[in-house]
């Protein structure tokens, strides 16, 4: 691992050696293209084990593709998709869900920690005009796990959201770009966190957590699979040399590499947050439940950290920082960050 | 290279060692995501050298994405895109151009070798209802180089097509999934084959010719670049860890690996075709100009080849075979194929 | 009726007095908007009588809306819609079917009289790649009755087309912009011509045959109705003051006005065609089965007719004329046209 | 006028006699279809006079079509359209703007009286991520005049909104379904209210104010006209017998019928509001500036009014009523409504 001090995002990381090795291993002879290969079958089987259920699995290369394609088989063009106003699908995908659904409407909700509540959803759905021809029709709700502010939905919260949607025929999508991070800290199983709680489709992320570029769409309702296959191809997201996506996912799932990575990332976030909690002037904007920290620091301290070469984003261009740890974060980097902070916090105070 | 005898397509191949090595090399430390990294900049610079001109370069992972996104900045939703009826954009992309353009119409033409002619295009455009509000408006023409039947457009043919489109404001897209193969055999430069002949946008293929999954959209009209950037993201084709796409392209372009690969593939096709020409009952459906062979063989011979473990597609489920050679085709496999053919052709006759 | 000699199209005509009177009658007091009024209900009931079956009826104002909205509930975005290359949906709607379906592909076929044949369709469907993820999926076939060249499908021909589609899940749409004209000449009932022959959705035209602007989409499969309602609204084709569309249709259906109009138009076409058959140099490009005549005439004769003030279109800008008669065509105009033709044909010969 | 007591909406009304008469007058002889007729030209000329400027005019039949088509030439598929959360384009068009733009995103804002403010817009645009490839790009803002809560934007407010958008290339659309009502009460000219204040495109409503079904899209930027023409046709909103739409608009504009109607409707609203202000327990939710009243009444009073045969909508299904007056509202009906209210309010108190 290079000497880096980059807390901007978990997508600034490279690929884990196990995953690169798997790609090299997969590079043997010819293979039937477009996912008709043994590795791709194997990934589906593995995810069925992980989730303890039958499910259809579609590898894609980006989180935006995983999310928008999932939603495209859950909402008609005249449908409405409920989500938090900070949801990646709403603010960071340049309208991909709208493109792939043929123009469905994202209806935004608010809520602390970038989480929506079942009660709010129930209220919104009650007033959504179901059956009223003038209004887009509630079709899906999308939640992010862990959320864009680093919070985690508990299985009971997820189940309540699914329950709120059910009377309206509203299905539940989970953007799991950081699904491993959400799972790593707790006792819930992958099944508890998803289909047992009523999730219909999951974007199962790997890119942020050690892969080069791989995500798996997991459809717990197999009836959606055929349409998904056509929509994936139509969107240019069906890879000819699919084995190289599948190899990444295979290695990611082998010996719980995905959870090991996530535990490391979460542990580094905790170490960083614990240290910052002792820094004068530090104030957390959200509880740290996964691998993201939202913390306000005094401006002189921020400038000092930047001078020392640390990379991070200022949230809304102000003194609120987002610090993201990852599967490869070096504890020494965390400690160095904390040392600089401690030193300059004293000076700043 | 594994012991394989797979002539189904050039997308059954794996990745070249130089390209895998480049990915490993790129896996150092953190990198700014979404293409703001040094490797991606370098790929643009290299392609500008290759094409001897300024141009905007956008790496994507699939040929369908490259084609459909290119067309999406060349034709409005009410536009018409002219192409051969066998064009990949028309028959093998499940409607991706229609999705990304918002519903533009592909207007199909015929022509030997899956090539369209400038004269036919001129004729079609003259009757296309330019300015007539009832008809979709001619906006683009897409040609494939090399074509789906393995033929190659000469620069003068390309220029004539571009010329035919110009009075109607019709711009020229080239699907270059096998651009290297088209170039390898002749004396035309990359520039001669594209912008000097009037090409506005090129899908510069690499996946079929040694990459894992990498193509570059090359826009010779920089005015299209900004819109392209938004449309690529919106389609889920902007990779966070872009360096891994760019590393493939970088290696692909280094020391003319792309042309070396293509020359090998074309050479293998010639060797195979020359041998088949001596087989009793063999009849070529198209001249062999790149790395694809379309040949009819007697049914007993086909069955014999299948029994011997050779893989290939029957075109239209009949006795017309498509045989595709690739950057990694083993001459011994070609010779073995020819030996089996010679032996059984005698038996068949 | 004004003194006019306009054979350009049946859409150059005005509205029938019965239909204007019905609009005036409907203009009493307030009415529940958006089709929840008594007149609209009544139109549905009347069309159920006309077609001798249960069906869902949706008034719209243009033929393009009727066609494209019908197709939008019959084909998914990744679907294929088969039609004749001259079909209105293909050449005269500026891509409306593509817009409303979210980018489905119109696959064109040829055939004399702008008719497609069941055999050709069966052949195309057999090669359509059903289930192949790379290809758009055959979903619907659209035929025009009477066709764009004035020919009429017999019920048995329609049934054969529907039959060809059935194994592929392909449903049949009929563009009946001139449905009345197709029906007027023969013995088939409206039911024979549509659902009994396997038609799923009909665009039942009125605008060309005496209405101001009114068409009815008739869905013989009620399962399509709910989605249709949302798509109609979403397309801006749900009228607030729906009663004024419905009033037109109500009058159109009263005392068989629609058939009376069509019989007149067809009779005028026959009178004109019979006369032209006796003109030296006249040559018919298609049999005259409804209210359209496609006839080649000597250039001097055409010029003479133009000088005399007759209006008509030159088909493909040549000596092939399209002459369209309508519900209000004056026999005296037809006879005057024939007299001029006879006089100048002699001169031309 | 029938004896009616319908305050549900101004779209429950019929057509004005002058407008019906104009339709009858237009029904003379044949006319070139699709808007190439003299009446349609004349409507454009008249609107140019009304607005004291050159502008392109496109008649359509519904407000949803007018709005969504206007927006479709102002925002790309990856664009964002800012509007009030109660805007008709956002809640009452079943996603028509999303359909016609190819999936642009409506970004909603709040504000009293269903008005947005320039300051809020400026704030939102500053944080909109202009140029950021991950976010939809601010392209247009749509305001409703009069608003969905019956309020009116002053020219200075409109100009400020346009001004806020200008640095971001954001253009201003005005949904003028009740444009006449907004204009009728004040001193601003049509030009002051639109292009002089920076409006690019106006949906000029007539259906709610005396037409059968007619609206005019007025484009103050002629550069948008060509694209608009194709998009209108592609959406099925180009009428063949256009003269009948144009006749309505012609009569609507003749001798200021449109303003006369609006003054009457507004006057009736004032009469009704003034009366209600004296009713015990009545509480206005918004100032009454045009022809809509939002008033809370005691439940027993509401029930009494319903028993007496008055029709109106309960807003959000509660005790807040929306009462809409129209061009044909009978003062006697207003007075009767007030009499019932006075009588039962006493009883209710």
The per-residue pLDDT for A4 is 58
The verdict on D264 and D226 lying in the same domain is: no
Burial A235-252 (b: 16+ CB within 10 A, else e): bbbbbbbbbbbbbbbbbb
Cβ within 8 Å of residue D282, ≥6 positions away: D276, D295, D296, D297, D341, D345
pLDDT digits (tens, 9 = 90+) for D83-97: 999 999 999 999 999
Q: What is the pTM of this model?
A: 0.97
Chain B adjacent subunits, 3+ CB pairs under 8 A: A, C, D
Q: In this structure, how many other beta carbons lie within 10 angstroms of the beta carbon of residue B267? A: 17
Rounded mean pLDDT of D307-316? 91
- How many C-beta neighbours within 10 Å does residue A61 have? 30
Which of D291-322 are b and which e, b meaning 16 or more Cβ less than 10 Å from the residue's Cβ?
Answer: bbbbbbbbeebbebbeeeebbbeeeeeebbbb
Q: With a cut of 80, say whether residue D2 has pLDDT above it.
A: no
Which ipTM value was assigned to this complex? 0.96
What pLDDT shows up at residue D348?
Answer: 52
pLDDT band at B3 (very low <50, low <70, confident <90, very high): very low
Question: Looking at residue D344, what is its pLDDT?
Answer: 87
- Which residue in chain A has the smallest CA separation from D97? A103
Residues A112-124 have a mean pLDDT of 97
Question: Is residue D179 in some structural domain?
Answer: yes
List helix spans (H) across chain A: 17-26, 38-51, 63-72, 88-91, 96-101, 118-126, 155-165, 179-184, 190-193, 225-234, 243-253, 257-277, 299-307, 331-348
- Judgement on whether residues C192 and C329 belong to the same structural domain of the protein: no
Q: Does B187 touch chain C (CB under 8 A)?
A: no
pLDDT at D347: 61
pLDDT at A185: 78
Are residues B237 and B93 part of one domain? yes
Segment B73-99 shows an average pLDDT of 98
Q: Is C231 on the interface with A (CB under 8 A)?
A: yes
Shortest Cα distance from C128 to chain B (angstroms)? 10
Residues in chain D with CB shorter than 8 Å from the CB of A68 are none
The gap between the terminal CA atoms of chain C, to the nearest Å, is: 35
Taking only the tens place, the pLDDT of each residue in A307-338 is 999 999 998 778 899 999 999 999 999 999 99
Measure the CA–CA gap between D163 and C337, rounded to whole angstroms.
61
Q: Is residue D5 part of a domain?
A: no
Structural domain span for residue D198: 17-256
Band of pLDDT at residue D144, cut at 50, 70 and 90: very high
CATH code of C114's domain: 3.40.640.10
Q: What are the tens digits of pLDDT across the range C135-164?
A: 999 999 999 999 999 999 999 999 999 999
Q: Which residues of C touch B101 (CB under 8 A)?
A: 103
In a domain? residue B327: yes
3-class SS string, D35-52: CCCHHHHHHHHHHHHHHC
CB contact under 8 A, D133 and B230: yes
Cα-flanking dihedrals φ and ψ of residue C189, to 5°? -85, 165
Residue D104 lies in a domain: yes
Q: Is residue D9 part of a domain?
A: no
* Polymer length in residues for chain A: 349
Q: Would you say how long chain D is, in residues? A: 349
CA A218 to chain B, closest CA, distance in angstroms equals: 17
Lowest-confidence range among B121-130, B309-318, D9-18? B309-318
Dihedral pair phi/psi, residue D171, rounded to 5°: -100, 155
pLDDT(A81) > 50:
yes
Alpha carbon distances (Å) from A82 to A196, C4, C36, C262, D201: 21, 58, 30, 51, 31
Complete DSSP assignment for B311-337: B-EEETTTTEEEEE--TT--HHHHHHH
Residues of chain A neighbouring B9 (CB-CB closer than 8 A): 33, 240
Q: Which residue has the tokens 């409804």?
A: C290
pLDDT at A348: 52
Q: Rounded CA gap, B3 and A29, in Å?
A: 7
* D7 in a structural domain: no
What is the spatial order of strands in the sheet that C105-109 belongs to? Answer: C56-60, C215-219, C199-205, C171-176, C137-144, C79-84, C105-109
Work out whether the CA dihedral A68, A71, A77, A79 comes out positive or negative.
negative
Domain stops at, among A222, A256, A290: A256
Q: By the CB < 8 Å criterion, does C323 face chain D?
A: no
Phi and psi at residue C203, to the nearest 5°: -90, 105
Instruction: Give me the residues paired with residue B204 across strands.
Output: B176, B216
Nearest alpha-carbon partner for B206 in B137, B153, B161, B252: B252
Q: What's the pLDDT score for residue C73? A: 98
How far apart, in Å, are the Cα atoms of B25 and each of A13, A14, B15, B21, C20?
14, 11, 15, 6, 78
Instruction: Calculate the average pLDDT of chain C.
Output: 95
Q: With an 8 Å Cβ cutoff, are A234 and C78 in contact? A: yes
Residues B228 and B303 in one domain: no
Judge if A123 and A198 occupy the same domain: yes
8-state DSSP, D307: H
Rounded to whole angstroms, the Cα distance separating B185 from B176 reads: 15
CB pairs under 8 A between A and B: 169
User: Distance between CA atoms of D230 and B131, rounded to whole angstroms?
Assistant: 9
Q: What are the chain C neighbours of D95 within 8 Å (beta carbons)?
A: 234
* CB contact set of B128 (below 8 Å; sequence gap of 6+): B80, B107, B135, B137, B138, B168
Structure tokens at C250: 């109500």
In sequence order, the 6+-apart residues with CB closer than 8 A to the CB of D166 are D198
- Has residue B1 got a pLDDT over 60? no
Mean pLDDT score, C327-349: 88
Q: How far is Cα C215 from Cα C59, in angstroms, rounded to an integer? A: 6
- One domain, residues D77 and D195: yes
Instruction: Name residue, tokens 């009815």.
Output: C216
Which residue of B75, B133, B136, B239 is the best one to mutate when testing the D interface, meaning the one whose CB has the most D CBs within 10 A?
A: B133
Find the CB nearest B135 among C94, C105, C135. Answer: C94
Classify D95 in phi/psi space as left (phi over 0), alpha (psi -120 to 50) or beta.
Answer: left
A78 in Cβ contact with A130 (< 8 Å) = no
Q: Is A279 exposed, middle or buried (0-12, 13-18, 19+ CB in 10 A)?
A: buried
Q: A77 vs C102: CB contact, 8 Å cut-off?
A: yes
Check which CATH number belongs to the domain holding D306 and give it.
3.90.1150.10
Do A192 and A291 lie in one domain? The reply is: no
CA D225, D226, D228 angle in degrees (round to 5)?
65
* Chain C touched by A76 (CB under 8 Å): yes
Structural tokens at position C99: 């817009």
The β-bridge partners of B311 are B6
d(C-alpha C64, C-alpha C60), whole Å: 10
Query: CB-based contacts of D137: which residues, under 8 Å, 6+ apart?
Result: B230, D76, D78, D79, D80, D128, D129, D130, D131
**Residues in CB range of B87: below 8 A, 6 or more apart:** B106, B108, B114, B142, B143, B144, B148, B175
A78 interfaces chain D, CB cutoff of 8 Å: yes
Query: β-strands C320-324, C292-296: how paired?
Result: antiparallel
Strand D171-176 relative to strand D137-144: parallel, antiparallel, unpaired?
A: parallel
If asked whether residues B103 and B240 sit together in one domain, one would say yes
Shortest distance, CA A224 to any CA of chain D (angstroms): 22
* Structure-token pair, residue A23: 């790609």
Residue C170, both tokens: 């392909």
Which residues of chain D neighbour A76 with C-beta distances below 8 Å? Answer: none
Q: Is D336 found in the same domain as D216? A: no
HSE-CB at C120 with a 13 A cutoff on CA atoms is: 14
Helix axes B63-72, B225-234, angle to 10 degrees: 130
Chain A residues inside the 8 Å CB shell of C103: 102
Task: Please state, in angstroms and rounded to a whole number, the distance separating the CA atoms of residues B162 and B153.
Answer: 12
Q: What is the DSSP string of A305-342?
A: HHHTT-B-EEETTTTEEEEE--TT--HHHHHHHHHHHH
Within this chain, do residues D296 and D168 fall inside the same structural domain, yes or no?
no
Mean pLDDT of C262-282: 97
Instruction: State how far the Cα of C212 lies from the Cα of C232, in Å rounded to an integer.
Output: 20
pLDDT at A197: 98
What are the pLDDT digits (tens) for C119-139?
999 999 999 999 999 999 999
- Could you tell me if residue A210 is inside a domain? yes
Domain boundary among C195, C223, C256: C256
Residue C315 is predicted with a pLDDT of: 87
Contacts A98 to D, Cβ<8 Å: 77, 98, 103-105
Helix or strand or coil: residue D304? Answer: helix
Give the integer Cα–Cα distance in Å for C170 and C19: 37
Query: Which of C199, C228, C256 is at the close of a domain?
Result: C256
CA B110/CA D189 separation, integer angstroms? 59
Cα angle at B78 between B72 and B82, to 5 degrees? 65
Mean pLDDT of the A54-63 span: 98
> Strands, E, within B145-277: which ranges?
171-176, 199-205, 215-219
User: Which helix (H) or strand (E) covers residue B252, if one does?
Assistant: helix B243-253
Please tell me the distance from the alpha carbon of residue C231 to that of residue D235, in angstroms, as a whole number: 12
Q: Using one digit for the tens of pLDDT, what is the confidence trace for D223-245?
A: 999 999 999 999 999 999 999 99
Residue D44 placed within a domain: yes
pLDDT of residue A345: 79
What is the count of residue pairs from A and C with beta carbons less than 8 Å apart? 37
Using CB atoms, which residue from B92, B93, B136 is nearest to C94?
B136
- What per-residue confidence (pLDDT) applies to D185? 78
**CA–CA gap between residue C211 and residue D68 (Å, rounded):** 27
Q: Looking at the 3D structure of chain D, how many domains does it have?
A: 2
Question: How far D5 CA lies from chain B's nearest CA (Å)?
Answer: 44
Q: Answer yes or no: is pLDDT of C44 > 70.
A: yes
Query: Are both A74 and A164 inside the same structural domain?
Result: yes
C313 Cβ under 8 Å from any chain A Cβ: no
- Which of C106, D135, C4 has the alpha carbon at shortest distance from A106? D135
Q: Are residues B145 and B101 in the same domain?
A: yes
């Amino acid at each position: 691992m290079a000497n880096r001090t980059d807390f901007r995002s978990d997508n600034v990381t490279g690929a884990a050696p196990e995953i690169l090795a798997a790609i090299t291993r997969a590079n043997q002879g010819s293979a039937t293209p477009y996912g008709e290969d043994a590795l791709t079958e194997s990934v589906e089987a593995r995810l069925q084990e992980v989730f303890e259920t039958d499910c259809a699995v579609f590898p894609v290369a980006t989180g935006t593709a995983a999310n928008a394609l999932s939603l495209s088989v859950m909402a008609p063009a005249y449908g409405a998709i409920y989500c938090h106003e900070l949801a990646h699908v709403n603010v960071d995908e340049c309208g991909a869900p709208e493109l792939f659904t043929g123009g469905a409407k994202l209806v935004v909700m608010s809520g602390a920690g970038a989480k929506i509540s079942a009660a709010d959803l129930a209220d919104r759905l009650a007033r959504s005009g179901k059956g009223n021809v003038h209004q887009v029709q509630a079709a899906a709700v999308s939640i992010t796990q862990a959320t864009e502010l680093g919070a985690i939905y508990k299985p009971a919260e997820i189940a309540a959201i699914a329950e709120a949607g059910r009377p309206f025929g509203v299905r539940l999508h989970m953007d799991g770009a950081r699904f491993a991070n959400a799972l790593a800290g707790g006792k819930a199983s992958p099944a508890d966190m998803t289909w047992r709680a009523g999730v219909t489709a999951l974007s199962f992320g790997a890119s942020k957590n050690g892969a080069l570029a791989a995500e798996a769409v997991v459809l717990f309702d197999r009836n959606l699979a055929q349409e998904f296959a056509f929509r994936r191809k139509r969107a240019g997201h069906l890879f000819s040399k699919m084995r190289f996506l599948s190899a990444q996912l295979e290695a990611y799932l082998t010996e719980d590499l995905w959870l090991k990575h996530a535990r490391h990332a979460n542990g580094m976030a905790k170490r960083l947050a614990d240290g910052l909690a002792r820094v004068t002037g530090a104030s957390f904007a959200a509880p740290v439940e996964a691998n993201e920290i939202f913390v306000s620091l005094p401006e002189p301290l921020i400038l000092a950290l930047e001078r020392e070469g640390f990379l991070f984003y200022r949230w809304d261009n102000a003194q609120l920082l987002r610090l993201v740890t990852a599967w490869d974060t070096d504890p020494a980097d965390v400690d160095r960050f904390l040392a600089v902070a401690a030193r300059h916090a004293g000076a700043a105070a």
